[in-house]
Amino acid sequence: MPDARVPTSSRARRASDGAVRALSGPVAVIDLGASAVRLVVAQIEPGRPPMVLEEASRGLQIGRDTFSSGRIGPSTMDAAVRAMAGFRSIMDGYGVVACRAVATSAVREAANADIFLDRVRVRTGITIDVIDGSEESRFTYLATRERLRNHPAAEAEHALLLEVGGGSADLTRLERMQPTQSGVYPLGAIRLRQMLASWHGPHEQRIRLLTRHIANVVYDVAQELRLGEATDVIALGSDIRFAAARLVEPVDGFRTVPRDQLVSFVTDVERLDEEELVERFRLPQVDAETLVPAMLVYRELLVSTSATKVVVPDVSLRDGMLVDLAGAGQDQSHADFERQVLASAQTMGEKYRYDGEHAQTVRRLAGQIFDQLKTEHSLGPRDRLLLDVAAILHDIGLFVGLRGHHKHSQYILEAAEIFGLSRDDMKVIANIARYHRRGVPQKTHLQYVSLSREDRVRVNKLAAILRLANALDAEHLTKVQEVKMRPQGESLLIALEGTGDLTMERLVAASRADMLTEVFGRRVVIAGAGVES
């Protein structure tokens, strides 16, 4: 029977909130990947880095199942349950006070993921969160930031942080170690291998097909993330660590591999089939299967940059999870997190040629309204951050077309990735942006009604605020500097301070205060507008 004393993770405790409650004592993190499930038990004490007590791993074929058939097979499910039950025994032996278990693309893309996750939960008491690519990026970034704190790569003006896993490649663009853009791409080693699982031709031709496919994907990635500007590359993952260990000795805990040396290594190993890799390097079969596909991706990404070397620190997603659980420097971490999210949002806005000055004006005004309505909306800092992102990106639909651009903004944002924000976060942001103009939420709006009740309420409140803030910069001239609000009976009195003639802003704001009145139940009166909503 599961030990109820060990709390496991849930969506309510997702680290995308920007900060977590600091813990003390033994904790555990579990990473359910495409080819294995891995456990780390560590001791956490306030003000100290986590101290690893035990590590364990079990090989699984989740990636092979999902990327070939779209489902996790019965035998793989049974193997996963046995592995998790064994991890549970290890955790109980240490008296673990908290556990965070996550699954990535192999589970995320499986059609029967819900059945699988429920079976693990019922039989072991461990709840597994299926995290988005953006949260993967955040965890790997946290681990890398801690490890490279005093390394020259941390000062690089343009760097690329990358990890090739079993199901996907996780890339983050860094500017002086601050993430500005990230993405997760279908270039995982197991996924690539399964793509040619039915191929029975010569090995050389298999490599040519893989190389061509990888080059096509990386070409698009290079345009999106501007890889050519990256002067430094920081690479994570077991395959690149293996390659680096074969090529150079560690210095101060890092391996730095010259670009030409790594390219030569890949050219050498790509000639070998899996049996030859096992024989030459004494590799386990599962590692031999992923080595060449992964290294082909690393090589193509590296040569797309301006970097002359690759820094390979010994860190993983699990290290980032431990840093997150430790909650070290929560206040600073939360401030950093907000800056990183907003920088990523601004980079996305630039991609869609947004009006940056208008976006920042709307964000500033929306923040003023949010802060003055705290007693009315009872929302928190994370909600303020979602409003900030929606304000920055509410008009990106203009890239598609003027007509119905609020709807274009919605579907762009639903499909987008912003560093540190989950897929659920992006759905909320997309809906907030959708209602910055024109109609209000209706039961016929499928993207809105598909949200949870809690998120629909959040969207109503934040969209009402954004709608008013956007109206206050109707002419995109940044004339309104300050919004002052005060309740009076059943009314909400709003006064504007700024430069120039504010007549247009007052009139438009009065006409767009309808949603604010409906959501908060207060009649809005804008001083000087000559009309009341």
Domain over 330-476 is classified CATH 3.40.50.150: no
Query: Is pLDDT above 80 for 160?
Result: yes
- The pLDDT tens digits for 283-329 are 998 899 999 999 999 999 999 999 999 999 999 999 999 988 887 44
Render pLDDT for 480-519 as a digit per residue (tens, 0 to 9). 999 999 888 889 999 999 998 999 999 999 989 999 999 9
Q: Which amino acid is at 9?
A: S
Q: How far apart are CA 482 and CA 476, in angstroms?
A: 15
* Strand stretches in 71-204, DSSP E: 98-103, 128-130, 159-164, 169-175, 178-185
Is 134-316 in the same CATH topology as 11-131? yes
Structure tokens at 26: 């033994």
Residue 529 has pLDDT above 80, yes or no: no
- Percentage of the chain beyond pLDDT 90 is 72
Confidence category of residue 150, pLDDT binned at 50, 70, 90: confident
pLDDT at 13 over 50: no
Q: Is the per-residue pLDDT at 22 higher than 80?
A: no
Q: Which CATH number describes the domain made up of 11-131?
A: 3.30.420.40
d(CA 441, CA 460): 8
Across residues 156-183, what is the average pLDDT?
A: 91
pTM: 0.80
Residue ranges of domains in the chain: 11-131, 134-316, 330-476
Asked whether the predicted pLDDT for residue 17 surpasses 60, the reply is: no
Distance of CA 85 to the CA centre of its chain: 29
SS3 224: helix
Instruction: Give the CATH H-level superfamily of domain 134-316.
Output: Exopolyphosphatase. Domain 2 (3.30.420.150)
| 57-113 pLDDT, tens digit each | 999 989 999 999 999 999 999 999 999 999 999 999 999 999 999 999 999 999 999
Asked if the model's pLDDT at residue 41 lies above 60, the reply is yes
Q: In what order do the strands lie in the sheet with 232-236?
A: 178-185, 169-175, 159-164, 232-236, 309-313, 254-258
Which two structure tokens, joined as six digits, stand for 72? Answer: 């996790």
